Amino acid sequence: MSVETFVTDKAGLHKFYEAVMASRETYAPVEKFGKFDFKRVTRLTECDPESPIATTQSIKPLFFPRSAKVMKYLATSAGTEVSEVDEDPLAVKRVILGAKHCDARSLQVLDKVYNWDYIDTDYQKRRENTVIISTRCDQAGTHCFCTSLDYDVENLDAMDVVIVNGADGKIYIKARTPKGENFLTELNTEYRILNIESQMSEEDKYGEMKKQYESFTGSFRLKMDYKEVNAKLSKIFDTPEFENVSGNCVSCNTCAFVCPTCHCFKISDEKVKDTGVRYKSYDSCNNGYFTLMAGGHNPRPVKYRRWRQRAMHKFVYYKERFGENLCVGCGKCTIACPVNISIFEVVNQVSSAAMQE
Ligand code: SF4
Ligand code: SF4
């Protein structure tokens, strides 16, 4: 089965968004105090699926929540009893609108670890039940470097449906996966997506989308050779340059919390008298207590070692284990860092210093 690429205009796109929201539970970027986050929406007026590049939050919390109640329990001298386990609100059939391509890609990276030695069935179910609709960026943000990394942004199949802004106000809507094809077919049958260019060939539509991509790739300020970074970092575990790049870090963990690919978590219990709640919440390797062991030993007691772990995990260890960088070049960590540390600069600076040692 292969669904045609729909061609529409702004009014048609808005009609498409409304149809999506009418068809399934929908999440989209919602603005609050100048920042965007993905929230449940029912109308286009509540959200902005074309929110700016500097969306401060990724779609990760819709698959791996920031802090989720695992269970509630009653612990008495007679024993412990689980008293409540909530239904998973993220496991329903749903659509995410307005995800950036880096966000969509981050899930393909996370799939590797969630389907590795332990299969996370909650994550799997959320993935299976979600259709991701992504609008391709027109312009790179100041801290973006997605096109420098190990994935094909132009032909990415991490989103189920891609929307591309073409010339002359034309907008292209294309399925990228079988799930996306089924979704567009169902949607078009029920709501009719406005197709203003029924005469245009698929080849011409592809050509128009390619032009948009070429203009987009020309807008990047940041570029790097990830293969060189992978190779150099893998040889320089002991360089003192990690102390220089991490000097200002206040170990606040914000970079990991907003990162779409970081996946460390902790399990904590909060108990009042006999009743307790167990949570699964984000944690970070930048946290000084992250590797503290029960006997008091901490193999990463200083921040340069923690930052080294962060950089190495992203650009060496994950790549060695799963064949992919644990970074999609979205720049969210740099935008959010209170002391302006940039992972792009860190890995490039450490790699360059290593050359001079
Ligand atoms: S490390 Fe930074 S640039 Fe890389 S994916 Fe995470 S937030 Fe984005
Ligand atoms: S956001 Fe910045 S200061 Fe906070 S842990 Fe990350 S690098 Fe350090």
pLDDT in tens, 232-269: 999 989 899 999 999 999 999 999 999 999 999 999 99
- In Å, what is the CA distance from 263 to each residue of 112, 170, 233, 277? 12, 38, 22, 22
Query: 199: pLDDT confidence band, cut at 50, 70 and 90?
Result: confident
For residue 1, being part of any structural domain is answered with no
- The protein residue with its alpha carbon nearest to ligand 1, atom 8, reads 330
Distance (Å) from CA 286 to ligand 2 centroid: 7
Distance (Å) from CA 67 to ligand 2 centroid: 20
Pairing of strands 171-175, 79-84: unpaired
Of 200, 217, 234, which residue constitutes the final position of a domain? 217
**Predicted TM-score (pTM) of this structure:** 0.94
- pLDDT above 60 for 57: yes
Do 33 and 123 sit in the same domain of this protein? yes
Query: 53: pLDDT confidence band, cut at 50, 70 and 90?
Result: low
Do 208 and 230 sit in the same domain of this protein? no
Domain total in the chain: 2
Of 217, 241, 276, which residue constitutes the final position of a domain? 217
Average confidence (pLDDT) over 6-31? 94
To test ligand 1's pocket by mutation, which of 59, 319, 343, 347 has the most ligand atoms within 8 angstroms of CB?
343
Tell me which residue range forms the domain holding 59: 6-217
Distance (Å) from CA 341 to ligand 1 centroid: 12
Do 30 and 114 sit in the same domain of this protein? yes
Backbone angles phi, psi at 183, to 5 degrees: -65, -45
- In Å, what is the CA distance from 128 to each residue of 21, 122, 139, 161, 171? 19, 10, 30, 15, 27
Average confidence (pLDDT) over 136-146? 94
Of 183, 217, 251, which residue constitutes the final position of a domain? 217
Pull the structure tokens for residue 149.
């990394």
For residue 246, being part of any structural domain is answered with yes
Query: 84: pLDDT confidence band, cut at 50, 70 and 90?
Result: confident
Do 210 and 272 sit in the same domain of this protein? no
- The protein residue with its alpha carbon nearest to ligand 1, atom 2, reads 333
Distance (Å) from CA 280 to ligand 1 centroid: 22
DSSP-assigned letters across all residues of 217-278: HTT-S----HHHHHHHHTT-TT-THHHHHHTT-----HHHHH-SS---EEEEEEEETTEEEE
Percent of the chain with pLDDT over 90: 87
Query: 2: pLDDT confidence band, cut at 50, 70 and 90?
Result: confident
Do 170 and 252 sit in the same domain of this protein? no
For residue 11, being part of any structural domain is answered with yes
Do 142 and 187 sit in the same domain of this protein? yes
Do 159 and 11 sit in the same domain of this protein? yes
Pull the structure tokens for residue 290.
């992250």
State the pLDDT at residue 344. Answer: 97
Do 187 and 256 sit in the same domain of this protein? no
For residue 30, being part of any structural domain is answered with yes
Q: Is the CB of 346 under 6 A from ligand 2?
A: no
- pLDDT above 80 for 1: no
For residue 99, being part of any structural domain is answered with yes
- pLDDT above 70 for 327: yes
- The protein residue with its alpha carbon nearest to ligand 1, atom 7, reads 259
User: What does the mean pLDDT of the chain come to?
Assistant: 93
Do 190 and 50 sit in the same domain of this protein? yes
